[in-house]
Amino acid sequence: MTTIDHRIDHRIEHWIDGAPAAGVSDLTLPVYDPASGTQIASVRMATASDVDAAVASAAKAFEVWSNTAVSKRSAVLFRFRELLAAGVDELARLVSREHGKVVSDAAGEIARGLEVVEFACGVPQLLKGEYSDEAATGVDVYSFRQPLGVVAGITPFNFPVMVPLWMAPIAIATGNAFVLKPSERDPSASLFLADLWKRAGLPDGVFNVVQGDRTAVDALLTHPDVAAVSFVGSTPIARYIHATATEHRKRVQALGGAKNHAVVLRDADLDQVAAHLAAAAFGAAGERCMAISVAVVEDAVADDLVAALAREARAVKVAPGDEPGADMGPVITRAAVDRIEAIVSEAERDGARVVVDGRGFTVPGHEEGFFVGPTVLDGVARSLRAYEEEIFGPVVAVVRVSGLAEAIQVVNANPYGNGTAIFTSSGEAARTFTREVSVGMVGVNVPIPVPVASHSFGGWKDSLFGENHIYGPDGVHFYTRGKVVTQRWPRQAAATYHFAGDAES
C-alpha cells in the first residue's frame, strides 16, 4: 500500500495512468496539521497539461473498460470494497491528520462511503434495461444504458474520502473512466484510494487524480474530452461549476451549500433533542453540509431547550483528532477560525445572546492549532449573517417561533434547501412538516438525514445545480445515457433450419 510521507519537504503528487506522477510544474501549496497549525507536507498544483495527461489516460482506458463485461467490473468493485474495509483505521488516521476531525468521525465517513461502494457492486442489476416483445408485428423494442466516457469529480476538504466515494464507484462500475480533483487542503486520501483501486485490479487510467486549484478545475470544466462533472462544495462555486461546464456541453451535478434547520416542537423530548442537536452541530467541528446550524424552537420550550443544549455544548471534549475520547477537533485553517469568530462577534453586537462562547478556544500544548469551541447563540434574528450564511463551524443559532406553521415558513424562506429535521411526538405534525417543507432531505427525529446508498443525496433550491442528485439511482442515471433499439428480423424465404436430432437428408 502507498505510504503517505508527512515530512515537511514531502510533495504529494498526482496519480495518472496507474502510478504517482510529479506533473510538469514545481508549484506547490502547503498542507497543514490543523491541530498543531504546522505545515506537514506540500501538494503539487496541476497545470492544464497535467489535466490533459490525466484525461488522455482516462480516454484511452475507457475504450477497454467500457467494453469489459459487467460481471468483471463488479468483481473489481468487490475487491476494492474489501481492501477499503481492511484499511479503515489507517485511512481514518490519515484523514484526521490533514483534516483535523476526530478519528471516529473519519472512520464514520469511510463507512458511509463503503455503503456506496457496496451499492455499486450490484451494477449488473443496476444496468438492466427493458424489453418489449412484439411491440408491432415482427418488431421488438429494447433499451439499455451506456457509459458517458471520461467523467470528473471535484470534491471538498470536509469529506476527503466519502464524497469521492459518492462519485467514483458508480461512475467506474457503469463503465466510465474517472478523474478526481480533490481539495488541496487534505489531498493524501485521494492517493490512498488510487492505490486501493490499483490493488483491486482496476486497469491503469480508469481512475486518475490531479491535485490542484482553480487552474485544474477550469481545465476539467472546459476540456473537450470530459463528458460530465460532479461537484460538492459551496453554493457560489457550485453555481460557477454548473454554468461553466454546461456552457461547454457537459452533464453537471453540482451540490452547493446549506443552512440546515432543526425544528423542535413543545412535545419533543428535550434532553434527547439537545444531545442530537449537539452531535449534529458540533460533530466534525460543524464542517459538513448536513450539519444542523439553526434550531427553530417553539417558544413554549425554548428556554429549556437552550439550557439543555448549553449543557451538551459545554460537555464536548475538544482536542486533536487522534486523542482518545475526543469529541471534536479543530477546523481546517486559521482563516476559518477568524471567519467563524467574526460571525459570532457580529451576532453578539447585533443583539444575539452568546450562551456558550467558543471564541478564543485553545487546547493546552496545541496553542497554535485551529480550534473553535462549541458555540450556542440564542435570539438570532434572521437578518444576521449568523443565520443567513453557511458558517461551516461549530455554531448553532437558536430562532424562536410560535409553532409549526411559523417554523415551516422560516425553513421555506431560506434560500438553501439541503436538509432539515423535525423533533416531535406528533405523527400529524411530522407528516405536515415533511410534505410542506421545500427541502430535499428531511429527518423525523433524525438530526442528520443522509440517505442510505440505495437512495440518492441532494437538496433543493440553492443547494443543488443540475437535475440529478448524487449516488443511488440518480447516480447511475447521471453517469449513463439511455439507448432504445427497435428491431425487425425479416423472414428469409430460402432459410433452412436444422435442429439437433434432425436426420441429415
CA nearest neighbour of 22 among 13, 9, 31: 13
DSSP state of 470: B
Instruction: Find out whether 361 and 371 touch, Cβ atoms under 8 Å.
Output: yes
The highest-level CATH class for domain 260-444 is: alpha beta
422: exposed, middle or buried (C-beta count within 10 Å: 0-12, 13-18, 19+)? Answer: buried
Dihedrals φ, ψ of 470, to 5°?
Answer: -105, 150
Q: Does the active-site annotation cover 121? A: no
- Which CATH homologous superfamily contains domain 11-256+463-486? Aldehyde Dehydrogenase; Chain A, domain 1 (3.40.605.10)
Q: How many CB atoms lie within 10 A of CB 61?
A: 23
Opening angle at CA 273, ends 451 and 258, nearest 5: 45
Dihedrals φ, ψ of 165, to 5°?
Answer: -80, -15
Dihedrals φ, ψ of 255, to 5°?
Answer: -90, 125
Query: Per the structure block, which three cell numbers stand in for 283?
Result: 460533530
Q: Residue 438, by phi and psi: left (phi above 0), alpha (psi -120 to 50) or beta?
A: beta
From first to last of its 505 residues, the chain has per-residue pLDDT tens of 445 555 556 899 999 999 999 999 999 999 999 999 999 999 999 999 999 999 999 999 999 999 999 999 999 999 999 999 999 999 999 999 999 999 999 999 999 999 999 999 998 998 999 999 999 999 999 999 999 999 999 999 999 999 999 999 999 999 999 999 999 999 999 999 999 999 999 999 999 999 999 999 999 999 999 999 999 999 999 999 999 999 999 999 999 999 999 999 999 999 999 999 999 999 999 999 999 999 999 999 999 999 999 999 999 999 999 999 999 999 999 999 999 999 999 999 999 999 999 999 999 999 999 999 999 999 999 999 999 999 999 999 999 999 999 999 999 999 999 999 999 999 999 999 999 999 999 999 999 999 999 999 999 999 999 989 999 999 999 999 999 999 999 988 766 566 565 544 3
pTM: 0.94
Q: What is the DSSP string of 17-38?
A: TTEEE--S---EEEEEETTTTE
Catalytic residue among 4, 61, 289, 437: 289
Q: With residue 115 as reference, give the H or E element that holds it.
A: helix 103-121
Q: Residue 58, by phi and psi: left (phi above 0), alpha (psi -120 to 50) or beta?
A: alpha
Query: Domain locations in the chain?
Result: 11-256+463-486, 260-444
In 299-435 the beta strands, taken as DSSP E runs, fall at: 353-356, 375-378, 395-401, 416-417, 419-423
